[in-house]
Structure 1
């Protein structure tokens, strides 16, 4: 669960794997969720059509999971998908994003259920899905400047927003539209705004001919 103590200076964001920053264009960003490592594993499977099981003629099978917990005990969501072989790179990106967000929503939903909701309020926290999406783009476009383009602010400003508007876990966000707050903090609540263009270039594929979930 993200706390005030996790807030770091935005200028340090690019070199960190963990921490919480506030940005002018993407709102709160959890650097753990924005870490590209998880999405990169998914992308490499799809890009290379890596599979150890043939789904059916013309399809390959991949697995993707998101987990929480400690090294010796983890729980989470794991799903399998059949993906059409021979898709173009751009088509594979749309499938990868669809699968990534599908599992992300399922993982956040898990955290809102008993018994996890007795210990954490992090399910669909304000920054979760937006941060996940940033992590996905960082995996797909490793040379991009995604965190910098979100325009991180100083730790002092981020702390003032937290102190004025409260914990991110108390603000639920079921979409990838970020919550933006006035700088400096003022009266009124957050505004839900569309994503910046650089986080909308890839459109998620719909379940159908390109891919489907394996039950």
Structure 2
């Protein structure tokens, strides 16, 4: 759940790649939640795939999940796929992307409908899915993306927030960026609109070849709840 107080100015930080939280506005992707864009979940899951490939087993089971927490209570959604050993790095990235797309949509829908919707407006909040996708690319194709994404100053970001209202009020059920024109610009319509993903966030296709015997879906969108260290699936 993003708030006005989360908005930061990337130019004030020596290495934006090390930031683990905060909200920025960029001209290419719109609002970006730096927490969603960390890619820690992607990195951890790809490491598990590497371990599976290095094992002697012909198949390995991978679970990918997204969670939210309120106090000691956590809840979320997960997918669990059995993957046949022998996948190239490109195939692993493609599989990971497919797992992300499926889980992220299920998780955002869970936030919208679950008992925690009183606590957060984050279900399909305008910045969430595109930030998840950026986190994926920051892991599989690491480089400094910030200059290309054209982040604006904190002042310019605050102008948008104050003019349009909280980003959580604008729902985006796709991984296409939702853009908010600068209210100071003249001769344009001051209303949010869908942009386009930059080319460097369209270089990997999600896995779809479920009939070729390399991936077996065990759970499509499981529910996971945690109370302290207790997990109920």
Q: Which residue of 2 aligns with 1:19?
A: 22
The residue aligned with 1:150 is 149
Alignment correspondent of 2:168: 169
Shift of 1:17: 0.4
Once the two structures are superposed, what CA deviation does each residue of 1:48-94 show, in whole Å capped at 9, x if it has no partner?
Answer: 3269996xxx4321111111115733211132111121012111111
Please give the alpha-carbon distance, in whole angstroms, between the structure 2 residues aligned to 1:75 and 1:167: 24
Query: Is the counterpart of residue 38 in structure 1 residue 41 in structure 2?
Result: yes
Instruction: Give the aligned partner of residue 110 of structure 2.
Output: 110
**TM-score, length of structure 2 as denominator length:** 0.83
Any idea what SS the aligned residue of 1:28 has? Answer: strand
Q: Which residue of 2 aligns with 1:192?
A: 194
Structure 2, unaligned stretches of length 5 or more?
220-233
3-state SS in 2 of match to 1:49: helix
Q: What is the RMSD of the two structures over their aligned residues, measured on CA atoms?
A: 2.1
From 10, 29, 32, the equivalent of 2:32 is 29
**Aligned-partner Cα distance in 1 for 2:26–2:55:** 41
CA contact (8 A) 1:7 1:20 kept: yes
3-state DSSP class of the match of 1:48?
A: helix
The 2-side partners of 1:121 and 1:194 are apart by 24
Q: Does the CA-based 8 Å contact 2:53-2:87 persist in structure 1?
A: no
**Unaligned stretches of 5+ residues in structure 1:** none
Describe the shift of the 1:73–1:50 C-alpha distance in structure 2 as closer, same or farther (beyond 3 A): farther
Give the TM-score taking structure 1 as reference length.
0.90
TM-aligned CA deviation for residue 10 of structure 1: 2.8
1:214 and 2:213 equivalent?
Answer: no
Instruction: Give the SS at the match of 1:78.
Output: strand
